């Protein structure tokens, strides 16, 4: 398909440029600002939609594209309602642009499914993508809290730190994202078990993806319990978030990176 060419991928990547500039320069929240933010969401989303017309792909590059498009859509939705989410854009967009660039460079061709996936697989894919999007934004919020705390302790604040939400707002958003992520991740485990049952397999396969996903589920659960009963906050809580993000990254795109890119 023509849309899969590097030219169209780079065009979709460039759609994030104006939004990154607007967030760094702290543009007024007017129609132009939201238009460039919308462009950042639209570029990757349209590219993914175009590629999906030929069927679902399982390669690492497309996995990153779909994850970024979903994360951008979720961020835009939250930013329209929450000031704290809008202030995360200055951190989130450069990172997501980096991921797209990495996806373009690591593209090893189309790995499409021979047959359309069944309903349980479709649900499982949607849940997995949503989990990764939620955890990505939670990790960005955790990083924002860390940067803001460092700036407060140093008693000086650069352009990026000034644009970020307050520590309290960042932690509140992080907590809500992690709680939602735990529920969605749990649903992902259930749909994974359903797929195994439907195909006559064991309830749980002790592979890398399953082990890492369960580990992330436990880490997030421990974080939520500690926050509720011991008031865990700040850098310690951020470490739990980053640990969970690393585990899910290894379980979801990480396994595909090893099989598609490193192993050829």
Instruction: Return the structure tokens found at 13.
Output: 């990547």
The pLDDT tens digits of the residues spanning 90-140 come to: 999 999 999 999 999 988 766 666 677 778 888 888 999 999 999 999 999
Q: How far apart are CA 183 and CA 238, in angstroms?
A: 19
The pLDDT tens digits of the residues spanning 150-187 come to: 888 887 777 788 889 999 999 999 999 999 999 999 99
| In contact, 178 and 138? CB cutoff 8 Å | yes
> pLDDT confidence of 25, banded at 50, 70, 90?
confident
Is the dihedral angle over the CA atoms 86, 91, 93, 99 positive or is it negative?
Answer: negative
Tell me, rounded to whole angstroms, the distance of Cα 163 from its chain centroid. 21
| In contact, 257 and 60? CB cutoff 8 Å | yes
The pLDDT tens digits of the residues spanning 204-229 come to: 677 778 889 999 999 999 999 999 88
The per-residue pLDDT for 2 is 64
Q: How far apart are CA 135 and CA 181, in angstroms?
A: 6
pTM of the model: 0.92
Q: Which of 167, 166, 170, 142 is nearest to 237 (CA)?
A: 142
The set of residues, in sequence order, having a beta carbon less than 8 Å from that of 152 and lying 6+ positions away, is 167
Terminal-to-terminal C-alpha distance of the chain: 22
Is the dihedral angle over the CA atoms 84, 85, 88, 90 positive or is it negative?
Answer: negative
Q: How far apart are CA 93 and CA 13, in angstroms?
A: 11
What 105-108 contacts at long range (C-beta under 8 Å, 24+ apart), as own/partner pairs, is 106/60, 106/61, 106/257, 106/261, 107/6, 107/9, 107/59, 107/61, 108/59, 108/60, 108/61, 108/260, 108/261, 108/264
The per-residue pLDDT for 160 is 82
Mean pLDDT confidence for 189-193: 87
Is the dihedral angle over the CA atoms 139, 86, 134, 111 positive or is it negative?
Answer: negative
The pLDDT tens digits of the residues spanning 38-83 come to: 999 999 999 999 888 877 787 888 999 999 999 999 999 999 999 9
* Residue 119 CB-density burial (10 A; 0-12 exposed, 13-18 middle, 19+ buried): exposed
Q: Give yes or no for residue 263 having a pLDDT over 70.
A: no
Q: What is the mean pLDDT of the chain?
A: 88
Burial 33-64 (b: 16+ CB within 10 A, else e): bbebbeebbbbbbbbbeebeeeebbebbbbbb
């Amino acid at each position: 398909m023509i849309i899969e060419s590097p030219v169209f991928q780079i065009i979709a990547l460039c759609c994030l440029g104006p939004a990154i500039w607007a967030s760094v320069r702290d543009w007024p929240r007017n129609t132009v600002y939201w238009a460039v933010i919308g462009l950042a969401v639209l570029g990757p989303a349209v590219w993914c939609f175009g590629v999906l017309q030929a069927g679902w792909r399982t390669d690492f590059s497309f996995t990153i594209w779909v994850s970024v498009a979903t994360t951008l859509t979720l961020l835009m939705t939250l930013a329209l309602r929450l000031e704290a989410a809008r202030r995360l854009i200055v951190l989130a967009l450069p990172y997501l642009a980096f991921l797209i660039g990495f996806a373009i460079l690591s593209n090893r061709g189309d790995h499409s499914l021979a047959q359309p996936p069944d309903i349980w697989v479709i649900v499982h894919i949607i849940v997995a993508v949503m989990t990764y999007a939620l955890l990505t934004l939670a990790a960005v919020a955790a990083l924002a809290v860390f940067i803001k705390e460092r700036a407060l302790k140093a008693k000086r604040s650069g352009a990026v730190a000034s644009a970020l939400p307050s520590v309290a707002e960042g932690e509140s958003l992080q907590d809500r994202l992690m709680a939602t992520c735990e529920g969605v991740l749990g649903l992902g485990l259930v749909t994974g078990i359903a797929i195994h049952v439907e195909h006559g397999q064991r309830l749980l396969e002790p592979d890398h993806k399953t082990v890492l996903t369960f580990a992330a589920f436990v880490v997030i659960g421990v974080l939520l319990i500690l926050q509720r009963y011991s008031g865990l906050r700040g850098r310690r809580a951020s470490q739990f978030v980053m640990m969970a993000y690393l585990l899910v990254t290894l379980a979801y795109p990480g396994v595909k990176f090893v099989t598609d890119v490193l192993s050829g």
